[in-house]
Amino acid sequence: MDAVLLDATPLRRDQVVAVARRGAPVELTDIAKEAVAGSRAHVELLAGAEQPTYGVSTGFGALAVRHIPVDRRAALQRSLIRSHAAGAGAEVECEVVRALMLLRLRTLASGHTGVQPSTVDALVRVINAGITPVVPEYGSLGCSGDLAPLSAVALALMGEGEARDATGALRPAGEVLRESGIEPITLAEKEGLALINGTDGMLGQLVLALDDLARLIDIADLTAAMSVEALLGTDRVFAADLQALRPHPGQAVSAARMSVLLADSEIVASHRGPDCNRVQDAYSLRCAPQVHGAARDTVAHTETVADRELASFIDNPVVLADGRIESNGNFHGAPVGYALDFLAIPTADVASMSERRTDRMLDKNRSHGLPPFLAHDPGVDSGHMIAQYTQAGIVSELKRLAVPASVDSIPSSAMQEDHVSMGWSAARKLRKAVDGLTTVLAIELLTAARALDLRAPLKPAPKTGAALAALRETVDGPGPDRHLAPEIAAAEALIRSGRLNEITA
């Protein structure tokens, strides 16, 4: 893969995904190297000045009033990282840590932080060596940045704590660095804050969630189209002239996609005409473009937020072009926290509508001729009855996860940090919600596929039929009850692979 080049140029979301998920290497441009060296020179001038400068020659947070003598400043930086690496809980996913490291590196490379060139080089080498510091889940309040998560990374750069090597093995960080020929960093003035005072963790998770949701909303259009066929619904409500009466862009996209997905369906054609006694389909079928489209528009809004953040330089204090070092509040995570919370709402709602379509296919009173629960021998077999229970349990959980984290705030640092964003918490619950949506859509995919098989000899549309055929490579068709959990897992894996997106595009 091509290296992602870093300087003050805004990163693209796809570049973050490439480094975080596909292991793309990173490289500093010559412009970035010059900017880093220049800003470091400004910091060193201020470090020798009699007048104290926050972050350079003072303590931090509520302790900022203390002037630190020159001979204690290296100890100050080490103490900052060690004390702030106070996270707890489960280990954060490697892709999240890689995204976090990339985004912090990009800010360091901007020339606005005042770190040593050797520190920047060490982080570049860690990323390219596939080393992933262990970052615990809890510890960030989303203000003054993601302090505890970023401190865990900085601690590993110092050769302390734990990290996973390129094989995924968990080992002492110093040992992993030495094996890769990377010298642990020795922090100088200002560097501790520069390494930890950013919103990189929550932003990285936002970018990764956007990548997932773009794919999953397309899958929701697909599973909805399959359910429309299975339930003998109509495609006429998705017509462009009807959608144009309410010109939301996302709605138009989803409606157009569903029309294409249902094109040339023998099942849909079989009940089209004067003999059809159906007047209107249920909302979960008829209104799918409205719900999926609103989700698309929410994603579009949060993409704008993410892109602005990817063009931002978050540190406090910050080194300005004229050499001044100024305190600021740009580390507050509200813009990212709100975006993460916004996304949790349509994630829950798209899943909720999917579950309603699944339930409809399983109810003999509403499924228009399908057997109860799509069972092979109803009464002896339960079919997909309990798969819908699983959907319902996840949807209920997603509703709880849609409650915003960013409206909460817990004062900290002796009331110096008296309002925090909780953006990291919003990011963590959104990741869980995205996983839940994946499972809900997988169960609808399984159910709609079985229902389409039961409509034989009528054939589904070419595109929904292609999705059905892809699923049948790993999951058998209708028959007596069998262990269903592995089939749900297989459908999830198919969705995550992106293959369905490719064959139904």
Two tokens at 79?
Answer: 């103490």
Asked if residue 443 lies in contact with residue 391, where contact means CB atoms within 8 angstroms, the answer is yes
Round to whole Å and give the CA distance between 332 and 313.
12
343 in helix, strand or coil? helix
Round to whole Å and give the CA distance between 195 and 147.
9
CB atoms within 10 A of CB 390: 18
Active site residue 138: no
Round to whole Å and give the CA distance between 455 and 467.
16
Characterise 177 by phi-psi region: left (phi > 0), alpha (psi -120 to 50), beta (else). alpha
Residue 64 burial class via C-beta count within 10 angstroms: exposed 0-12, middle 13-18, buried 19 and up: middle
Name the DSSP letter for residue 62.
G
List residues bridging with 132 in a β-sheet.
164
CA angle 323, 325, 326 (to 5 degrees): 135
CB atoms within 10 A of CB 392: 16
Two tokens at 311?
Answer: 């063009």
* Exposure class string for 123-161: b at 16+ Cβ within 10 A, else e: bbbbbbbbbbbbbbbebbbbbbbbbbbbbbbbbbbbbbb
- Rounded to a whole number of angstroms, the CA Rg of the chain reads 26
Q: Pairing mode, if any, of strands 136-138 and 88-91?
A: antiparallel
In sequence order, the 6+-apart residues with CB closer than 8 A to the CB of 473 are none
Closest to 355 (Cα-Cα) out of 389, 383, 381: 389
Q: Catalytic site residues?
A: 54
